[in-house]
Amino acid sequence: MALLEVKNLHAEIDGKKILNGFDLTVEEGKVHAIMGPNGSGKSTLSYILAGKSDYEITEGSVTFQGQDLLSLPPDERAAQGLFLAFQYPMEIPGVATMTFLRTAMNSIRKKRGEEELSTPDFMRLVREKAAELKIDPEMLKRAVNVGFSGGEKKRNEILQMALLAPKLCVLDETDSGLDIDALKVVADGVNRLRSPKRSFVVITHYQRLLNHIVPDVVHVMAKGKIMKTGGPELARELEAKGYTAFEQAA
């Protein structure tokens, strides 16, 4: 059974069609890359998977671990093991990063019927994961993402991903706004999390990220659907030829 199965998904916002029969099957332990031009519906897809309520699903289905994903509220999806790394992580003035991380971890543990983490265990875990991502512990004392650089925000997303240990990670243009060093740190963070039990959907414009996070499957998305599927070589082909050919085909 596939971990994630998206079938013939149609979605719109304010009457504007964004997804037009989108299909995707992600097996356990696989890394899928979705590449596509601006406006192809990539971010919409990630928001719909995570449960943002702005979109209207007009047709199709999404199954996650055999369960109807679309009927679950966003926090329930997170508890089931779905994680979205935001393209634009939110700044939350007045809420300390540590409070946020701890509340998130304990909410998910509670929903899974696990006990809350003790303070020392939580602190140790956060310090360890933060060090791997080269996150300054001082940063964790600040309000969530407030005053963080673009790279720091993205690293903070990967930190959250590492702490919440999801089954499916959706990375929405995690490479945008990153310089080459930050890109490497983030990619290393993602690679550390790769396992036979965990899958990834990596959404990106550029092939660059895929040099660091090597995908098993590459999809080209345009006008709200998958136009072509292939191996890592497809990403390089795209980099050389551009998206135009696929957009015309649609």
| Beta bridge pairs of residue 218 | 33, 230
Q: Cβ distance 82 to 167 under 8 Å?
A: yes
* Greatest pairwise CA separation for the chain in angstroms: 56
Closer to other proteins by CB, 203 or 238: give it: 203
**Single-letter residue type at 59:** E
**Single-letter residue type at 22:** F
Q: Does 192 bind other proteins (CB under 8 A)?
A: no
Q: Does 141 bind other proteins (CB under 8 A)?
A: no
What is the distance between the alpha carbons of residues 25 and 27, in angstroms, rounded to a whole number?
7
Q: Does 9 bind other proteins (CB under 8 A)?
A: no
Closer to other proteins by CB, 38 or 53: give it: 53
Closer to other proteins by CB, 58 or 103: give it: 103
The minimum distance between CB 143 and other proteins, in angstroms, equals 8
Closer to other proteins by CB, 86 or 200: give it: 86
What is the distance between the alpha carbons of residues 200 and 235, in angstroms, rounded to a whole number?
16
Site for other proteins in 63-82 (CB under 8 A): 73-75, 77-79
Q: String of b and e for 98-137 (b: at least 16 CB within 10 Å)?
A: bebbbeebeebeeeeeeeebeeeebeeebeebbeebebee
What is the distance between the alpha carbons of residues 63 and 68, in angstroms, rounded to a whole number?
5
x/- letters, 217..246, toward other proteins (CB under 8 A): ------------------------------
Site for other proteins in 99-128 (CB under 8 A): 99-100, 103-104, 107-108, 111
Indicate the burial class of 138 (C-beta count within 10 angstroms; 0-12, 13-18, 19 or more).
Answer: exposed
The minimum distance between CB 148 and other proteins, in angstroms, equals 14
Site for other proteins in 46-65 (CB under 8 A): 50-53
The minimum distance between CB 85 and other proteins, in angstroms, equals 10
Here the tokens at position 59 are 């047709």
Closer to other proteins by CB, 143 or 245: give it: 143
Q: Cβ distance 139 to 129 under 8 Å?
A: no
Query: Strand, helix or coil at 58?
Result: strand
What is the distance between the alpha carbons of residues 201 and 218, in angstroms, rounded to a whole number?
10
Window contacting other proteins (CB under 8 A); options: 17-25, 28-36, 44-52, 176-184: 44-52
Q: Does 11 bind other proteins (CB under 8 A)?
A: no
List 66, 94, 120, 196, residue binding other proteins (CB under 8 A): 94
Binding residues for other proteins (CB under 8 A): 50-53, 73-75, 77-79, 83-84, 86, 89-90, 92-95, 99-100, 103-104, 107-108, 111, 143, 160, 164
